[in-house]
Amino acid sequence: MQPERKLPATAIIREVGLRDGLQSIARILPSAQKIEWIRAAHAAGQREIEVGSFVPARLLPQLADTAELVAYARTLPDLFVSVLVPNLKGAERAIESGAHLMTVPLSASHAHSLANLRRAPDEVVADVARMRAAIDAAGSSILLEGGISTAFGCTLQGEVPHDEVVRLVRCLLDAGVDRISLADTVGYADPLAVERLFTKVRAVAGDKLWCGHFHDTRGLGLANVLAALQTGVNRFDACLAGIGGCPHAPGASGNVSSEDLAFMLRSMGIDTGIDIDALLALRRQVADWLDGETLHGTLWRAGLPKCMSPAQPEAVAV
């Protein structure tokens, strides 16, 4: 019998529904609703939220109010506020905004990188070095995260070799990123691949590897989170109601849903600080705002088990 794996005592669910979720939904949620979402997520115990993306408003009008959202989110105590930035211009706006962290996506798939960003991965690395310089020149304390997308394969080129991902991680670290995250953008990852790639990247990036981003496109989202958790990662991106989705698989499930993930971690005795009942109440609110859109997740329907309290492990009445 193999020994029980040591799991992290705590974990963080970084809510990315306001960015990764809303960017793939055509309707534009009013800023007032997004602010209410951020307020309620914080009240439910969420402490890291990616509030938007500094992309041109003509490309993603849904996220045009990102600066306003950062400003609001910064007023909430102990909330770590992050944004996505696609390029140097976006990075400059992020620095100005006062966000705590910016994530730069870099696609490990050459084909996906060219199709999506119109730049090869190594050109993106060069951009990242310029962002590092801009941060330092501004005397800003904002953290710079390199988010490697299509790390487990891509719908355009198929396989993405682990060695290429590891090479790009080294490049990003050399270019000056503070953090590394790995994303299964299209739902190609499986638990064994997750264990292997996270282990390889950990060997290169150490504690700078800090977040996993999994989509549930083929149903393996939470199994992949579990595999990453077992390698020691304890921060995961997730979207309330599993919004998001894969542009290459219409109708397919999107990101891991925050509420199901919170339930899994809570069941395993891993403290996320989240009040699941409050999160489910927020889900009902957001589902109402997004009426007609395809939502995902399962916990909202079945509810919490009889023996589980909604809040913290200390309060379990068993």
Active site residues: 246
Query: Would you say 31 or 230 has its CB closer to a copy of itself?
Result: 230
Give the Cα separation of 74 and 179 in Å (integer).
Answer: 21
Q: What are phi and psi of 270, to 5 degrees?
A: -95, 120
Contact call for residue 241 and a copy of itself (CB under 8 A): no
Give the Cα separation of 17 and 24 in Å (integer).
Answer: 10
Contact call for residue 281 and a copy of itself (CB under 8 A): no
Give residue for tokens 């960003």: 117
Contacts of 15 by beta carbon, 8 Å cutoff, 6+ apart? 41, 46, 48, 49, 50, 238, 239, 240, 258
Give the Cα separation of 196 and 242 in Å (integer).
Answer: 26
Query: Would you say 106 or 238 has its CB closer to a copy of itself?
Result: 238
Query: Would you say 105 or 221 has its CB closer to a copy of itself?
Result: 221
Contact call for residue 305 and a copy of itself (CB under 8 A): yes
Instruction: Give the CA count within 13 Å in the CB-facing half-sphere of 188.
Output: 20
Q: Find the shortest distance in angstroms from Cβ 94 to a copy of itself.
A: 32
Give the Cα separation of 52 and 59 in Å (integer).
Answer: 13
Which ranges of 118-182 does DSSP label H, i.e. alpha helix?
Answer: 121-138, 162-175
Contact call for residue 126 and a copy of itself (CB under 8 A): no
Query: Would you say 20 or 65 has its CB closer to a copy of itself?
Result: 20
Query: Would you say 130 or 202 has its CB closer to a copy of itself?
Result: 202
Contact call for residue 294 and a copy of itself (CB under 8 A): no
Contact call for residue 315 and a copy of itself (CB under 8 A): no
Beta bridge partners of 53: 84
Contact call for residue 191 and a copy of itself (CB under 8 A): yes
Encoded tokens for 247: 């542009």
- Measured torsion, CA atoms of residues 153, 157, 162, 164, in degrees rounded to the nearest 10: -130
Contact call for residue 110 and a copy of itself (CB under 8 A): no
Of 71, 100, 196, 271, the residue at the interface with a copy of itself (CB under 8 A) is 196
DSSP 84: E
Of 264, 279, 286, 295, the residue at the interface with a copy of itself (CB under 8 A) is 264
DSSP 297: -
For residue 18, count other CB atoms closer than 10 A to its CB.
28
By CB under 8 A, the count of residues binding a copy of itself is: 60
Of 32, 302, 314, 315, the residue at the interface with a copy of itself (CB under 8 A) is 302
| End-to-end Cα separation, the chain, in angstroms | 28
Of 36, 92, 123, 195, the residue at the interface with a copy of itself (CB under 8 A) is 195
Query: Would you say 37 or 214 has its CB closer to a copy of itself?
Result: 214
Of 13, 47, 62, 188, the residue at the interface with a copy of itself (CB under 8 A) is 188
Q: Find the shortest distance in angstroms from Cβ 162 to a copy of itself.
A: 12
Give the Cα separation of 47 and 233 in Å (integer).
Answer: 17
* Residues engaged in binding a copy of itself (CB under 8 A): 1-2, 4-7, 153-159, 186-188, 190-193, 195-196, 199, 202-203, 216-220, 222-223, 225-227, 230-232, 246, 249, 251-253, 257, 260, 263-264, 267-269, 297-299, 301-303, 305-307, 318
